[in-house]
Amino acid sequence: MADGHIILQDLRKSFGPKHVLNGVSLSVPKGHSLVVIGGSGTGKSVMLKCVLGILRADSGSIRIGGEEVVGLKGAARDDYLSRFGMLFQGSALFDSIPVWENVAFGLIQGRNMARAQARDIAIEKLSQVGLTAEVAKLYPAELSGGMQKRVGLARAIAADPEIIFFDEPTTGLDPIMADIINKLIVDCVKRLGATTISITHDMASARKIADDIAMIHKGEIIWQGPAKTIDYSDNPYVDQFIHGRGTGPIQMEVLKA
Amino acid sequence: MNPFQPIGRAVLALLAEIGRVSLFLKDAIVQGLTPTFYGRQILEQMWRIGYNSLPVVGLTAFFTGGALALQIYQGSTPGTASTLVPNIVALGITRELGPVLGGLMVAGRVGASIAAELGTMRVTEQIDALVTLSTNAFKYLVGPRLIAAVVTLPILVAIGDTIGIMGGYIVGTRSLGMNSYAYIKTTADFLHLDDVTSGLIKTAVFGLIIAIMGCYHGFNSKGGAQGVGRATTNAVVSASILILAANFALTNLLFTE
């Protein structure tokens, strides 16, 4: 675990009486792609938001490139965040600005880059995800769900980040578009040499983009290993999840706590 | 059950809410009103909050000035009407009705719009996306709205005051048969700079209240469309009540000798 690019140790987070993260520990080596699988409400998104500092972890350690990042503030936090890119589940595109400005947003606002230069980079990144310069002028509301995901991906890679997070990258897409997005993710990550963590329910997506897979259940990592070994994990929770069985050790909560 | 329990719970909830709003106000001032400033955002918000509210504030002021003239005329004797109508219309509009009604109309139009926009950004993770793009959400979203509301509301109400006095003049001279020259002279004689500036000071405070309540409720919106709707309602109701309370306190401060 000591040589990981991203290392989480005993990460805990509660919302009132509800314990969402119960001591998450995992490690991702530099340039590797880790996919975290798990049911809804098991703490996947909360874990990513804690790493990004959007939520403050109650306790535990987050080390990026060997540096402890919990509690960073001000300029140090801005520098830290500039190393990340993130593709959100619903794309989270800013609907009041055109597509190119969405992609260039981090360059213009976060890095004070000239708009013309940022626009050129945005158009290049859009072409990397298969979108033309014509799309750059449109607004997010004028795009289909698949195109919005592509724009979200272009935005995530716009600043050539060393770490990229993907939150449910294929949710809500048809299987063909999901496969296209998975392929784009693999291509972009390879090109950048980035370290990535993806969270998903979609096993086809997990198998396609993961070097390693970890399973989170009730706020704890209960299994982690190479993607190709997941079918032989000997873990009844993992088996139930990857085969989508209704019966097994995982009991779905019908009502929200 | 202890009958005081619900009262105690409500008081504690109110105090907690006051604490949260105070902390939000502190963050809005410390983070939103210190460099870096987003000039483009500030100008856009000035346009949306100030210029686009002009018809609403202007019409409100015009009809209020006219109605006020009619009411004062009804309540005065034929000998005193020519003095009382222009005097009370001018003082009433500049000191009280212009700022308060203008503030309430803008609270309804702009406060709701700010809360709905930021609330939607919150529930669709656009505010989280800002963080991952190294952009301080307080500087980018709250600061420009705060500056725009505090700067444009006094200008807006100054224009509204003029239109309101004009409303009184039109009703006084066209419907009530008052002499045009005498009406203008009486207005000019009784109206002092202090009456106008004190009203405008009030309006700047109302601008702060409208922007803070809109941003606070929008930022803390949760639970999808219903949550955004609730945030919008709360922003308008809380801003309206605070405007009336602040008006009473400021009137006491500015006009009581």
CATH code for position A22: 3.40.50.300
Instruction: Check A109 against B134: CB less than 8 A apart.
Output: yes
Q: What is the mean pLDDT of residues A31-52?
A: 91
Domain assignment of residue B152, yes or no = yes
For A165, name the nearest residue in chain B, comparing CA atoms only. B132
Instruction: List the single range of A23-37, A71-85, B31-45 with lowest mean pLDDT.
Output: A71-85
Q: Return the pLDDT at B86.
A: 95
Residues of B in contact with A52 (CB under 8 A): 128, 131-132
Biggest alpha carbon–alpha carbon distance for chain B: 71
Q: What is the mean pLDDT of residues A7-15?
A: 95
Q: What is the ipTM of this complex?
A: 0.88
Confidence category of residue B100, pLDDT binned at 50, 70, 90? very high
Domain assignment of residue B12, yes or no = no
Instruction: Check A84 against B132: CB less than 8 A apart.
Output: yes
- pLDDT over 50 (residue B119): yes
Domain assignment of residue B76, yes or no = yes
Domain assignment of residue A208, yes or no = yes
Range of the domain at A5: 1-83+163-168+195-257
Q: What is the mean pLDDT of residues B132-157?
A: 95
Q: Using a CB–CB cutoff of 8 Å, tell me whether A88 touches chain B.
A: yes
Domain assignment of residue A257, yes or no = yes
A72 is written with which tokens? 């960073």
Looking at the structure of chain B, the number of domains it has is 1
Instruction: Check B129 against A86: CB less than 8 A apart.
Output: yes
Domain assignment of residue A8, yes or no = yes
Round to whole Å and give the CA distance between A93 and A99: 8
Going by C-beta distance under 8 Å and a sequence separation of 6 or more, which residues neighbour residue B22?
none
- pLDDT over 80 (residue A36): yes
Domain assignment of residue B139, yes or no = yes
Confidence category of residue A255, pLDDT binned at 50, 70, 90? very low
B interface with A, Cβ–Cβ below 8 Å: 38, 121, 124-126, 128-129, 131-136, 140
Mean pLDDT, all residues of chain B: 94
Instruction: Check B132 against A86: CB less than 8 A apart.
Output: yes
Option in A53, A90, A110 nearest B133 (CB): A110
Smallest Cα distance from A144 to chain B, Å:
16
- pLDDT over 60 (residue B55): yes
Domain assignment of residue B195, yes or no = yes
Domain assignment of residue B142, yes or no = yes
Q: Using a CB–CB cutoff of 8 Å, tell me whether A93 touches chain B.
A: yes
- pLDDT over 80 (residue A250): yes
Range of the domain at B69: 36-255
Round to whole Å and give the CA distance between A26 and B60: 61
Q: Return the pLDDT at A253.
A: 60
Instruction: Check A94 against B126: CB less than 8 A apart.
Output: yes
Domain assignment of residue B17, yes or no = no
Confidence category of residue A111, pLDDT binned at 50, 70, 90? confident
Looking at the structure of chain A, the number of domains it has is 1
Confidence category of residue A138, pLDDT binned at 50, 70, 90? very high
- pLDDT over 90 (residue B224): no
Q: Using a CB–CB cutoff of 8 Å, tell me whether A53 touches chain B.
A: yes
